[in-house]
Structure 1
Amino acid sequence: MDYEQKIINSLKNEFKSLEVDSYFIRFDEISDILTPSLVLEYVEKAYRYTAEYKERLQMPSKLYFFYQDGDMRVMPSVVDVDGEKVSAMKVVSVHFQNKKRNLPVVIGFFVLVDSDTGSLLCVMDATYLTAMRTGAAGALSVKHILREKDSISLGIIGCGVQARTQLALISYIKKVHELIVYDVSTEAMEKFARFSQNLGFKAKKANSLFDFKDCDVVVTITPSNKPFLMLEHVQNVKLINAMGADGPGKQELSPEILKNSVVVVDNREQAIHGGEINVPLKNGQIDESIIFGEIGEIIAGIKKVPPNRRVVFDSTGIAVLDVFVGYAIYKSARERGLLKNLKIH
């Protein structure tokens, strides 16, 4: 026996395989489990948690890694969900060339860690999870900021995959009597119009951004790094869900819209670093005092949005949402006997 083999054999005796159970959940089962009602329930719980248990929340800022055609974000958090200490991390990537590969632009996976032992508990796809919790975030801002309105006119700018869950979840919690859509790609706009028809909506395709000026709610969900929505485009709009700016350098709204609106963020630190307000902050066009509060504070009733003011919800996408929703999926899969053993030890 040579020395290298001796080392291998000796170390094998010191590092034993772990006697723990690890699992995975199939994608098709995730899409069955994660219903609109479930994702809305757990995203709302997550936002309340950020406001009511701020001192317990462990959620460092996203870690960003940049590629030529996209980026990767690592989003860890430790929180209390349904009486359990939950430790988890999502890794999500954005690759715009994936369209040519017949893959989603946004791909992610989610990892649950046993908070008692540190061992791997469960791994699952996070592509659908991310789309659904982002849709729920937009829907909950409509629910809690426009409480008095039973029915809304909705405008959606950007007709990619995320637009579908915005429409689905907003219309699940609030009646939508008019839908106006726009995308720089006519093909994307046509596909989204067909999707909306499946949900019972006849989408009006906007000729210009001025067509959105009388909407109750406008959702922007694009990867833009230049402001395209101007103050004159949103004269009578009551709520703008700015969902697209989720990293440094991204921007969809003109600074004038921000200056003439109440700005609510999902997380103060993350919004400053990479939300809709990040570019005008860096350029000195606004300062941090423009932030009225966090959406969790609105939902929990800690802060109330001033009446008769337009609101901008600056949503960057925060890890605590993924942890609450990911744990809800795991818990439901466990109760239904859907967990599959993952033999890594």
Structure 2
Amino acid sequence: MTATTPDLPTDVLDDLGQRAGRRRYLFWSLGLVAGLVVTVVLAVAMGAVQINPGTVLRIVSHHLLGVPEVATWPRSQDSIVWQVRLPRVLLGVAVGAALAVCGVALQAMVRNLLADPYLLGVTSGASTGAAAAILFGFGAALGENALSGSAFIGALAASIAVFVVARTGGRVTSLRLLISGVAVGYALYAATSFLIFAANSAEGSRSVLFWLLGSLSLARWSTALAIALVLVGATIALLTLWSTRLDALAIGDETAQTLGVSPTRFRIQLLVVVSLCVGAVVAASGGIGFVGLVIPHLARRMIGAIHRRVVPVAALVGAIFLVWADVAARVLLQPRELPIGIITAIVGAPFLVLLVRRFHATTE
């Protein structure tokens, strides 16, 4: 005789599934938080001048907590850790998390798993503004913030252009957003190329090209704090206000309408938040690709597709990923520094190929 397992009621199975999902989410969240702390300490310690991780912790605790009261390490190490590397690493944390969170929102908004912040043309707009500032002094009235300010203005202008083109008959659909973002992005890319050609400045062209590929070398405490505040605001909006709407929109417009969500109005709200977030990030770090594309997929494989859980996990994974990408950019060709976009592309491009092949296999 063979023993048979009694069928469990549906509500019991659902409850068991929810408990397993919560345990998996808690496991990954705690592990990623610990991993992020270790990543920050090790990233600050690594560079042209190697610093012991224990010394890094003592320097940080000395500045933040006043412990120990008397510094026993060289002043040069204190300057490297507190004034140079720690702001850069924290900016990498904020930028990586912000790009990943925006990628999650965009993929739900347009219902396309290949979407990322480049989709809206926001990065191209910021690049055009930055090129105008570097090559022609645009935004000089902003003083030392001319570069970031011009990039932010370009990003906002690109977002408005995408919205105007996508809005037809009072509606904004995912397909129109997709096509409008690609069209505006290509037009702005052409404008940036024209500015580089018209300037006829070799040094300026090199600066623009380096900035277009992304860099955290302009990191300051004020910049890291500003991006962190933008990230917190966007994450709170997505988690506390819109997580259920994101779930509904990702399934389809009909489902969203059935649940009382206006797809057009919600897409407009998402477009505004994502554009502001990506514009601020690109203004601080230049164009960094593939983070918003790759990281959301990794987060979903870890804890499922519920956006209430995907958003914070994606933020943590994005932060860890970009910090290590920046470490590689700083260390691989010392004393020269690689644009960070090269590192993210090396990792992201093979992932994109695998993703496309997977989609092709599932649709055959």
Structure that is richer in strand per residue: 1
Give the TM-score normalised by the residue count of structure 2: 0.28
Give the TM-score normalised by the residue count of structure 1: 0.29
- Higher relative CO (CA 8 A, sep ≥ 6), structure 1 or 2? 2
Structure that is richer in helix per residue: 2
